[in-house]
Each structure stands twice: as structure tokens, then as C-alpha cells.
């Protein structure tokens, strides 16, 4: 069976198919993806942000004939998603998703299981992998797009406007839910997220994750390990990745490489 093609309906605002995107995986999850040839998309309710409400029970209040009315939207079809970043170099993201604590005597990382591994791919490869994984289910819609960062009120206002226009069943519409997942509060803006989403049209499933088969050496364009690691650790991590089947490029991440900054003066300047 040929792979499903990507059409414009899958592309939400700011999606650029051949633009690089990045994700810092926990080291264990990175190695698991290599050995099992798969990614895992999860339910947004598993994320820390309480405003990720597209697969939760959503209270709705309105006034009718002078009386306050309440309704809870629940039993929504399932949503699975994974967040990547448009940002290649980020001290904040690295420190949030990778931990390095040097030993007193060895100078090696004492918490290797908490290290992160930065993986580079493209919008196209990520979306194609999710389309391939879900093509046999005609009731799943797939999307990819960049997150817009707004106020808390604007996050909720999006849902209010959607319900106002299309009624209490508005969030059964996959694209409306996908666009809701592309709105986050400004406090998270440093992540510059790109999200891929698989959204059921009718079905509520019990699974908490969606496994997406990949061919790692086709899917991954580049791997970079935490630049705070010692050279010997960097070598070991590369050999470990190779042992798990990775045969691609390793990027020498020089975020913290010590340099002597040189101030280059214009050609017409002389000391005085």
C-alpha cells in the first residue's frame, strides 16, 4: 500500500513542511525509539499545563432568560499529540529537559538517566509518519502547526467563540480541536512549539498513547547530545546510539564551548 499523501487540510498556520524542528527526548526514550522503531504521541491531559483541555471535561456557562446555565462537555473523541520546537539552540529548553550533574572526582555525569538527546527532523517527516500510522483508520484526522502564545483569557476565548458559532458539539470537529491545541499561554513561549496531532472524529479510546512507527535513519536528520558532557561521555553516547541502530549524523553541539570573544573593529579605525 502506498503512503498517504500530505494535503493542505493537514497544515495549520505556520506549518512549513521542510523546515527543521527539534525535540529533546529523555535518553531512555530516545534509545527506545531507535530499538522499537516508533514514536509515542500522548493525550494532552498528561501534560503539565492545565489549559490543555481539548481531551478533558469542559464546563460551559451562559445566561439564558436571566438564569445562569451550566453544561459540561465530556466524552470527547480522543486526541494524541507530540510537541517539538522550532528553536535549534536554547539554554532554557536544554536545562528543562536534560540534567547533568558532575561527580566530585570523576567529572562525569552522575545522573545519566536524566540526560536529554536533541533530535532533528522536519515537519514533513513527522506528519508523514503520523499519517502512515493512522491511514487505516478513516476516523482519524492528522494535523501539524506552530503554537501561538496568548493570554489565559485568549486561550479560553478561542473555545468560547467556537462553541458560540457551532454549538456545544463544536469540539467534536477535529480542526477546531487541533487549532485549540495551537494556543498556549505566554509563559510557555520560550518553547516555540510545533505540534503534530492525531484527532479521532467520533471514537473515545481507552489508550493513553498512540504508537507511530518510524524508520529512525530516514526520520532523524541529526542527533546531538548534551554539550555539557565530557568528551568520553559523548563518545559513549554515540556508540550507544549506534548499537541501537542509529547510523546518521551526530552534531557537535558547542553551546557551552569556551571561547575568547574577539571584537573586530571597522577597517577605518585606529587606536587613539
Q: Is this structure's pTM higher than 0.95? A: no
Q: What is the chain's percent helix, strand, coil content, to nearest 5? A: 30, 25, 40
Angstrom distance (rounded) from CA 1 to CA 153: 46
Whole-Å CA distances, 29 to 113, 136, 139, 213, 219:
10, 26, 29, 14, 15
Least Cα distance to 174 among 203, 206, 200 occurs for 200
Rounded Cα distance between 101 and 229, Å, is 9
Q: Report pLDDT for 2.
A: 64
3-state secondary structure the chain: CCCCCCCHHHECCCCCCCCEEEEEEEHHHHHHHHHHCEEEEECHHHCCCCCCCCCCCEEEEEEECCEEEEEEECCCCCEEEEEEECCCCCHHHHHHHCCCCECCCCCCECCHHHCEEEEEEEHHHHHHHHHHHHCCCCCEEEEEEECEEECHHHHHHHHHHHHHHHCCCHHHCHHHHHHHHCEEEHHHHHHCEEEEEEEECCCCCCCCEEEEECCHHHHCCEEEECCCCCHHHHHHHHHHHHHCCCCCCECCCCCCCCCCCCCCCCCCCCCC
What is residue 133's three-state secondary structure?
Answer: helix
| Mean of all residue pLDDT scores within the chain | 92
Chain segment 72-89, per-residue pLDDT in tens: 998 888 999 999 999 999
Q: What are phi and psi of 12, to 5 degrees?
A: -95, 170
Task: Mean pLDDT check: name the lowest of 1-10, 83-92, 206-215, 241-250.
Answer: 1-10
Four-residue CA torsion sign, 52, 33, 87, 238: positive
188-243: per-residue pLDDT in tens?
999 999 999 999 887 788 888 999 999 999 999 999 999 999 999 999 999 999 99
- Percent of the chain surpassing pLDDT 70: 99
Closest CA relative to residue 249, chosen from 271, 226, 227, 217: 217
Distance CA 88, CA 224 (A): 11
* Rounded-to-integer distance, Cα 250 and Cα 229, Å: 14
Q: Name the grid cell of 21.
A: 524542528
Question: Quick one: pLDDT at residue 1?
Answer: 54
Amino acid at each position: 500500500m502506498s503512503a498517504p499523501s500530505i494535503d493542505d487540510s493537514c497544515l495549520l498556520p505556520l506549518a512549513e513542511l521542510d523546515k527543521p524542528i527539534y525535540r529533546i527526548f529523555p535518553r531512555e526514550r530516545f534509545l527506545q525509539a531507535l530499538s522499537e522503531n516508533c514514536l509515542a504521541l500522548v493525550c494532552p491531559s498528561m501534560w503539565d499545563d492545565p489549559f490543555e483541555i481539548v481531551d478533558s471535561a469542559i464546563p460551559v456557562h451562559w445566561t439564558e432568560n436571566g438564569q445562569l446555565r451550566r453544561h459540561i462537555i465530556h466524552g470527547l473523541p480522543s486526541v494524541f499529540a507530540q510537541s517539538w520546537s522550532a528553536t535549534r539552540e536554547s539554554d532554557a529548553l536544554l536545562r528543562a529537559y536534560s540534567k547533568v550533574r558532575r561527580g566530585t572526582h570523576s567529572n562525569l555525569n552522575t545522573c545519566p538517566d536524566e540526560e536529554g538527546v536533541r533530535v532533528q527532523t522536519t515537519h514533513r517527516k513527522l506528519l508523514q509518519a503520523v499519517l502512515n500510522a493512522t491511514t487505516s483508520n478513516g476516523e482519524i484526522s492528522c494535523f501539524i502547526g506552530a503554537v501561538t502564545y496568548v493570554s489565559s483569557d485568549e486561550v479560553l476565548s478561542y473555545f468560547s467563540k467556537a462553541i458560540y458559532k457551532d454549538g456545544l458539539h463544536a469540539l467534536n470537529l477535529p480542526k477546531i480541536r487541533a487549532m485549540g491545541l495551537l494556543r498556549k499561554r505566554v509563559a510557555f513561549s520560550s518553547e516555540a512549539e510545533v505540534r503534530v496531532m492525531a484527532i479521532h472524529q467520533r471514537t473515545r479510546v481507552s489508550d493513553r498513547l498512540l504508537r507511530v512507527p518510524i524508520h529512525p535513519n530516514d526520520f532523524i536528520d541529526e542527533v546531538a547530545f548534551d554539550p555539557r558532557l565530557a568528551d568520553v561521555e559523548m563518545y559513549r553516547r554515540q556508540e550507544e546510539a549506534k548499537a541501537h541502530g542509529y547510523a546518521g549524523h551526530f552534531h557537535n553541539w558547542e553551546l557551552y564551548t569556551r571561547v575568547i570573544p574577539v571584537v573586530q573593529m571597522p577597517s577605518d579605525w585606529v587606536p587613539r
